[in-house]
Structure 1
Amino acid sequence: MMISLEGFEPVAVSPHKQDPAWKHCQLFIKDQPNGVKAELKKCIYCGKVFQGGGINRLKSHLAGRKGNGPTCDQTPPDVRLSMLQSLDHGIAAFRHRKSQIVANPHHSPSELDNSFAENGECKLMVGPDSNSLVNQEEDVGISGNGVGLGGNLTNVPLEVDNSYRSNAAMHRSAGVPKLNFSVNQEEDAGMSVDRRVRWRGGTSSADTGSGSVDGVTKLSNVSAPIPIAVGSAFSEDTQGRSTGFPNSYWLENEEEVGLSNTNVSARKRVRGESAVEAANAGTVDNNYEVKEVGNQQIHMAIGRFLYEIQAPLDVVKNSVYFQPMIDAIASGGKRTIAPSYDDLRGWILKNAVGEVKSDIHQHMETWARTGCSLLVNQWSSEKGKTLLNFAVQCPEGTIYLKSVDASYFIFSPDALFEFLKEVVEEVGVVHVLQVITNTEEQFAVAGKRLMDTFPTLYWSPCAATSIDLILEDFGKVEWINSVIEQARSVTRFIYKHVVILNMMRRYTFGNDIVRLGVTRFATNFTTLKQMADLKFNLQSMVTSKEWMSCPYSKTPEGSAVLDILSNHSFWSSCILVTHLTNPLLRVLRIVGSQKRAAMGYVFAGIYRAKETIKRELVKREEYMVYWDIIDYRWKKLWHLPLHAAGFYLNPKFFYSVKGDLHNEIISRMFDCIERLVPDIKVQDEVIKEINLYKNAVGDLGRNLAVRARDNLLPAEWWSTYGSSCPNLARLAIRILSQTCSMVQGQENQIPFEQLHKTRNSLECQRLSDLVFVQYNLKLKQKVHKHKEQEDVGPISFDRNSIVEDWVTETEMPLEDNENPDWMSLDPPSGNTRLLELSVDEAEGLGSGFDDDEIFIELKVVKGEC
C-alpha cells in the first residue's frame, strides 16, 4: 500500500519530549476526521518512516539493535552509541524496580504487572476477537533528500512469523482465548512490534486472569516478554523454559529479541536461571548512573585542562590523536604517571622526531616513482611578520620541511628565486614536477626564473586561491551581492536570539542555515545553498503559530525576515546563484581533497563550471560576464600544460570524448612530454605509446580496464593496466599524482614566530624540532581523518573569522530585554545527510567535452598570457 504524505505537515518536536532519539527524527502530523492526529516519525539518516510504535522503536532502529523492526545502517557511530546507552539505561532502570518488587513479598502479581507498565505503554489486550495482530504498525520508506513534503511513501509490510497463525489456530481450537495486541503511541512503547508479532500464543497469567485489571494485563519494556504465574513472579518449568510458552526458541535467540548488546543478567534470565540472582547481577553489572558520574568527572578534568591552557576546543573532534591518548591513559589504570616538563622537551620529543623522520623516509621512497610538488605557503603572524613554510606533497601525504622569515625580502623576486632554488635542490630536482606558490606577481616572476633554471619542472599558482578570488568577484556582482546581503540579514537576526535560533533548529531538524566553507567567500555561497535546500523548512517556521506568538517576530527585523523568506524573487535569485557557483565550489573541494590528487580533475572541473554558467544564462552577453571573471583569475593556470595533460591522461575523461580531443589539449600534452621527459629517445617512445592509449590496445582495452576507468584513481589505473605502454604510464603516474593547491594549515597554533626570534642555538634547535613534529603531525592527520572538514557550529569562536559576516551584527548590540543565555541554546545536530548526496565530487564531472566556444576562449586567454 502506498501511503501519501498529502496532508502531513512537518512540525517541530516539542521540548517536553526529552528522549534523545527525538533529536534524530523528523516529525509529521496530520489531522484525521475522527479528531485524532496521525503521526509519522522519519529517521533523518536513512529516510525510514515509522507510523506508531513509540520512540523506543526508532531508538532501536538508530542503535542497530535487531528485534524491533528494521535497523539503520547510516547512523553516525556516536549517535548509535548514544542510542545503545539509552536503551541499556532503560533496561537497567526496569530491572532495578523489578528487583525491589521481587524482594517485597507483600506485592501482589497485579502490582507487579502495574510496575512493569511504568516503563512502557504496551498493553496485552484479552478480548473476544481480533482480525489484526498489530494496530497501525506500518513501516514505510521514503526516497529523496527528506526536505520536501511531496511524493508518496512506499509501504514495507511487517514480517509476521507464519507459525504464529498456525499456533493461533491451534489455540483457538483448544479453547484458548484469542489475543489482540494494541499499542499506545506514547514515547516509550514497551514491547517491540517484532516481539508482539512473534509471540506465538500459549498460557500466561492473562489466561487465568491473575494480575489483570479490567481484562488488561500490562507488560513492561523488557528485552523479551516474561510470563507471570500465580504465586511466583518469575517461575520456570522443569525444562528451563518460561511457563506458558510452548515454543521457547525465540527466547534463546539473543539476536532475535535484541539481547546481543545487553548484559549477562538479561541472558541468564531468558535461559532459565534464578530471576532474583539475575536481578542482583544486573544491579551490580549495570550501574549506569555510577558510570555516568565517572565519565562526567573525567570529562570535567579534561575540560579544565583545555580551558586553562587555552587550547582550541575543536581539537577533541579534529585531532586523530585525542582518543588514542585517552585510551592509553585508561589502559595504564591507577599506576599511570603524567610525563614531566623535562620528559616532554627531552626523550619524548626526541622519539617523536624519530617517528616523523621515519614517516618522511617512507614518503621519499615513493618520490622516484610518483614525483612530488613543492608547496610554498606565505602567511602573516599576529605581529606582522611574513613567513614562508615549505612542504612537499605526494600521494602518501604532505610533509613539512622548514620555515623562513621572509619579512625583509618577500617583495624581491630575486631573493624569492634563490630560496626556491635552494629548497628544490634539497628535495631533488629529479623528483619535483612543480612548485606551487601564491598568485602575487613577485612569485610569478621568481617561478618563471625557476622554470628557466630547471627545465624539468613547472611553476604554478595555487588553484584554491584562484578559485577563491573568482568567488570573491562573483560576490561583487550587484544582484548577487544583494541576495547575499538579504540572506545575511536573515541569519544575523536568527543567530542573535536564542529563542529564534532554537526554533530554527527544530524546524530544520538540527541543521544550521549558515554552512561553513573553506574560506570566507566560499562560505557566502555554501550558506546560500544551505538556505535554498532548507527553503520550505524556513517558510514553515515563519508561518507557524510559534513564530507568530514570538515577540521577536513583531520587531522590524522580524518583519523583514518574514518578508524576505516569503519573497518568491529572493528564492529564485538564491537558487540561481547556487546553480552558478556550485560547480566552482566543487572544484574548490576537489583541489583541496586529501583523498585524491586533483591534477586529473581540475581542468574538467573548470570546463564544467563554464558550461553550467552558459546553460543557466543562455544569452552570451549575460554568461560572458562570469566567463570573463573566471578567465581573468584563472589565466595563469589556463596556460599551465599540467592541467590539460592531467585531463588527457585521465581515462575517465579521455574515453568519454566523442571524436578527437581539442587541439589545445593535445598541444599541451606535447608540452608536458617535452619538458618532463628530457631523454629524446624516451620522448619518441611516449609518442608511439599514445596511439596504443587512443586505441585501447592490450590490457588498456580489457573489460576490467574499461570498468575501472570510473572506479580506480587515474594513477592507479595506469599502474594496473599500463604495462603495454610503460613509458607513457610512467609519465602519466607522475603527472596524475600531483596536487593543484597548497595545504591550508592552522599556522597560528604553531610557534613559528617564536622559532625565528629565539637566539640561543640549542634552544632554537629544540624549538625547530618541536615545530617540525607539530606541523607534520597536523599534516598527517589530514590524511587519516574520515571527513575532510568537521562540521563546526557557525557561532563557534573556533571559526569566527570565516562566518562573522553571517552571524555578527553590523553594529554593537544594544541593551535588550532578552538576556542571551548560551546554556539554553540547543546544539546543532550536524545532520547534513538531509541536504547532501553521498556522491564523490569527481563523479559529478560527467562526460562529454564538446563545447568549442570554451576551448576558443581558452586559446584566447593563452595568447594574452
Structure 2
Amino acid sequence: MFYTGGLPFNLARNPYYVRSYSFAASNQIPGYVPPGYNKLRTTLLQQEKENVNRLLEPIKSTWKEKGVSVVSDGWSDSQRRPLINVMVACESGPMFMKAVDCSGEVKDKEYIAALLSEVIDEVGDQNVVQVLTDNASNCKGAGELIQGRYSHIYWTPCVVHTLNLALKNICAAKNTSNNEETYNECHWITEIHVDALFIKNYIMTHSMRLAIFNKFSPLKLLSVADTRFASIVVMLKRMKLLKTSLQSMVVSEAWTTYREDHRGQAVLVRERILDDGWWDKVDYILEFTRPIYNMIKDCDTDRSSLHLVYERWEVMSFKVKEAIYKHEHRCASEESTFFKVVESILTSRWSKTSTPLHSLAHSLVPRFYTQKWLDEIPGRVAPHVDNEVSSSRLSCFRRLFPCADDRRKANTEYAIFSRRDNDIFKDLECVEDMSLMEAKHWWATYGSIAPLLQGLAFKLLGQPSSSSCSERNWSIYKFIHSCARNKLTPKRAEDLVRIHNNLRLLSRNSEEYLKGRTKMWDVGGDEHDNLDDVGCLALDVANLSLDEPDMEMMLFGDDGDLGDFEDGASGNDA
C-alpha cells in the first residue's frame, strides 16, 4: 500500500491510520470490503464533512465568550484558478470555513467584503472581534466596508506583513527621488545580500562546486523565495551558519585546482568568503534586524498575540536602537543618521498598522501596570498614563459601547482597575499575580468586580495579530490539490481541505496529541532539513514556517522519540 501508492512514511504516525488497524485487529469483521473509489469521493466525503462539523460544535460554543477573528487570504491553485479562503481563528486554533473560486470575478473591495460578511453572519457578528487580512489596498478597502457595516468589528492589518515590508524598506532600499536618504544609508545592506545570492547561486548552479561544498557542510544552501517573510535575513542567517564550512571549502585543494567553469567568478566567491570585513557587515545586519525578525517569529503564529503587539513593537524599536548605537559606539544622547532612517521606516509602518484595538488590548494586560514591567525600559509608562493608548482606548469604548450609560460604566471599571481603587485589586496576592499569571487567567480570577472589562478581556486577549493561519492553509491546499490530483473540482478540493484542516485542529486540542506513537503526528515529514535557528521550513504536510518555532527543530523516529529521519532529504527550497 505504501510503496505502490507512493504514500509518505509519515503516514505511519497518523493517529487515524493507527486507529483503523487497531480497530480491525480487535474486532471480528469477516467479509468487510473497504469503500470503493466513488463512495470515497462522494457519499463518505459528505458524511465525514458533517461528522467533522458535529465534532467542532464544542469549539464553536466558546465563541460567544472568547470571540473570534475572521482571517482571509488569496492564492492560485495548480490550474491557476484564483481562490480566496476564509478562516476563523480563536483561542483553540484556526478553523477552516470556506475557499471560494473567484474565476471571472473582479476581486475588488466590494467582492472581498461580501465574502467576509457571509462568514461573519454565519459565525454571528457579535462573536467577531476583528477581520485580519494583509495590507493590500483592496483588503484595506474591504476592511473599511466591514467596519461600516458592523460598528463593533475592527479591520486589523497583518502585523507580520507590515514588519516584512519594513524589513524590505531597510534591506532592499530603492533609489528613487523621494527615497534618497534611505537609499544612501541602507544600500550597503542590499550589496551584502547581492553578494550572498551570488555565492549561493554560483555554488548551486555548478555541479562540481556543489559537490565540493557538500563535502564540507552537513547543512544545505537555501533558495529562499522572495515571498517568504524576512527572506533577506533568513538568507544571511543561513550564510552565517555556513561560514566555517564555506571558508574551509574555498581554501581547500579541490576548490583551487578545479578550473573548468567561470574561474573569475570562483576567485570572486573566494575573496568574499575570506573577507572578514564582509562577514562583519553580515553580523551587523543580523544584529540590528534580530529584534524585527524575532517579532515576526513571535507574531507569525496561531497563538494569541493581539494584546502584545504594542509592547513588542516598543521593545523591538528599543533593541534596534541599542544594537545600532552599540555598533557605532554612540551614547544615548547622540544622533545616528542610520538609526534615524530605520526609525522613520518603523514609525511609518506602525502608523499604517496600529489600530485602536491594539491599544485597548494592551490596556487590559495586568502585567503592564506593574513596577517590574515599567522598569524594564527607561521612560516606559503604564497604559492609563500613555496618551496614545488612552486616546485609542476611549475611541474603542465609543464604538463597543454605543449606549452612554454602558460606556460610562466601562470607563469607571477601567479607572478602578488601572488605579486599583477596590479591595480586590488592592489585595497583595492580586497585585503579585498581575506579574505572574497569564492575563486571561488573572481576569477570570479577579475580574468579576469589573464585568464589562472582564468580558472584553476574555475576547481581546485570545486573538491573533496576523493572517498567517490563512496563508499557511494554502500549504494544505497544495498538498491535497497537487499536480498529481489537478483534476479535483474546486468544490471537492474545498471539502477535502475543510476536513483535513479541521481534523488537525481537533487533534491538536486533544491530550493524545502530545504523547504516544502519534505524538505531533502532523509535524515533520519525509523531507526534513536541519535549519537550526533559521526557522523557515515549509513542508506541505507539516505546514511549518516561522509559525511554530518550538516545533521546527523536532525530528521524530519510529518510536516517537526524538531522532533522525532515515529518509531525511535536503529540502533546499524554503
The DSSP-based 3-state class of the residue aligned with 2:405 is: helix
- Deviations 1:64-118 (Å, cap 9, x if unpaired)? xxxxxxxxxxxxxxxxxxxxxxxxxxxxxxxxxxxxxxxxxxxxxxxxxxxxxxx
Specify the code of the residue in structure 2 equivalent to 1:777.
Answer: L
C-alpha distance in 1 between matches for 2:120 and 2:423:
38
Alignment CA distance shift 1:380-1:659 (3 Å)? closer
1:494 Cα deviation from its structure 2 partner: 4.1
Q: Secondary structure at 1:774's aligned position in 2?
A: helix
Specify the SS of the correspondent of 2:453.
Answer: helix
Post-superposition offset of 1:732: 1.5
Name the residue aligned to 2:197: 488
Give the Cα separation in 2 of the matches to 1:701 and 1:515: 56
Instruction: Report the counterpart of residue 458 of structure 1 in structure 2.
Output: 154
Aligned to 1:571: 279
Q: CA deviation at 1:306?
A: 2.2
Aligned to 2:343: 627
How much has 1:708 moved relative to structure 2?
5.0
**Which amino acid in the other structure matches residue 407 of structure 2?**
Q
SS of structure 2 residue aligned to 1:459:
strand
**Structure 1: how far apart are the matches of 2:568 and 2:122?**
53
Structure 2 counterpart SS, 1:375: strand
SS class of match (1:468)? helix
Which of 326, 329, 342 aligns to 2:21? It is 329
Q: Which residue of 306, 311, 314 maps to 2:6?
A: 306
Question: 2:13·2:521 contact (CA, 8 Å) conserved in 1?
Answer: no
- In the alignment, which residue of structure 2 is the partner of 1:667? 391
Residue correspondence of structure 1 range 507-586 to structure 2 within 5 A: 510-512=218-220, 514=222, 519-536=227-244, 538-543=246-251, 555-586=263-294
Report the counterpart of residue 737 of structure 1 in structure 2.
462
Query: In percent, how many aligned pairs have the same letter?
Result: 22
Does the CA contact (< 8 Å) of 2:67 and 2:459 recur in 1? yes
Aligned ranges 1:291-690 → 2 under 5 Å: 302-306=2-6, 317=10, 322=14, 324-326=16-18, 328-329=20-21, 332=24, 338-345=34-41, 348-477=44-173, 478-496=187-205, 510-512=218-220, 514=222, 519-536=227-244, 538-543=246-251, 555-594=263-302, 596-618=303-325, 619-638=335-354, 640-655=355-370, 656-657=373-374, 658-660=380-382, 661-690=385-414
* Map of 1:772 onto structure 2: 498
Instruction: Note closer, same or farther for the CA distance 1:787–1:348 as it changes in structure 2 (3 Å cut).
Output: closer
Farther-moved stretch of structure 1 (320-329 vs 640-649) = 320-329
CA contact (8 A) 1:375 1:391 kept: yes
Residue in 2 aligned with 1:716? 441
In structure 2, what is the Cα distance between the partners aligned to 1:328 and 1:420?
38
Looking at structure 1, the residues matched to 259 and 521 of structure 2 have their Cα atoms a distance apart, in angstroms, of 40
Higher Cα Rg, which structure: 1
Tell me, in whole angstroms, the C-alpha distance in 2 between the residues paired with 1:627 and 1:776.
41
Aligned ranges for residues 40-51 of structure 1 at < 5 Å? none
Structure 1 gap segments, 5+ residues each: 1-300, 308-312, 759-763, 804-824, 831-865
CA–CA distance in 2 between the matches of 1:591 and 1:445? 23
Q: Does structure 2 retain, via aligned residues, the 8 Å contact 1:370–1:395? A: yes
**Count of aligned pairs:** 490
How many Å apart are 1:498 and its aligned residue? 6.9
For 2:151, what is the secondary structure of its paired residue? coil
**Alpha-carbon deviations, 1:581-605, whole Å to 9, x = none?**
22222222222213x2110222222
Task: Describe the superposition over 1:397-444 as per-residue Cα deviations: whole angstroms up to 9, x where unpaired.
Answer: 121222223344444333433333333222111111111223222232
Name the SS of the counterpart of 2:289 in structure 1: helix
Rate the CA distance shift 1:332–1:736 in 2: closer, same or farther, 3 A: same
Deviations 1:594-618, CA, capped at 9 Å, x for gaps:
3x21102222222233223333334
The amino acid across from 2:460 in the alignment is I
Q: Offset at 1:507?
A: 5.5
Distance 1:526 1:789 in 2: 21
| Structure with more helix by fraction | 2
| 1:518–1:653 distance in 2 versus 1, CA, 3 Å | farther
Q: Aligned pair in 2 of structure 1 residues 537, 707: CA closer, same or farther (>3 Å)? A: farther
| Structure 2 counterpart of 1:680, one-letter code | A
- TM-score by structure 2 length? 0.72
Q: Which amino acid aligns with 2:134?
A: N
TM (norm. structure 1) is 0.50
Asked if the contact 2:250–2:270 (Cα under 8 Å) also holds between the matched residues in 1, the reply is yes
Q: 1:550 to 1:797 in 2, by over 3 A?
A: farther
8 Å Cα contact 1:376/1:390 also seen in 2? yes
Q: 1:711 to 1:526 in 2, by over 3 A?
A: farther
Aligned partners of 2:304 and 2:462 also within 8 Å:
yes
Distance 1:448 1:648 in 2: 24
In the alignment, the residues of structure 2 paired with residue 362 and residue 302 of structure 1 have an alpha-carbon distance, to the nearest angstrom, of: 35
Distance 1:673-1:518 versus aligned 2 partners, 3 A rule: farther
Equivalent of 2:478, from 727, 748, 751?
748
Q: Return the letter of the residue paired with 1:483.
A: I
The amino acid that maps onto 1:492 is N
Mapped partners of 2:462, 2:395: distance in 1? 18
**Pairwise CA RMSD:** 4.2
CA contact (8 A) 1:689 1:728 kept: yes
Tell me the distance in 1 between the aligned counterparts of 2:226 and 2:307. Answer: 21
CA distance in 2, matches of 1:711, 1:788: 33
Contact 1:356–1:773 (Cα < 8 Å) also in 2:
yes
Assess, with a 3 A threshold, how the Cα gap between structure 1 residues 553 and 588 changes in structure 2: closer, same or farther: same
The equivalent of 1:726 in structure 2 is: 451
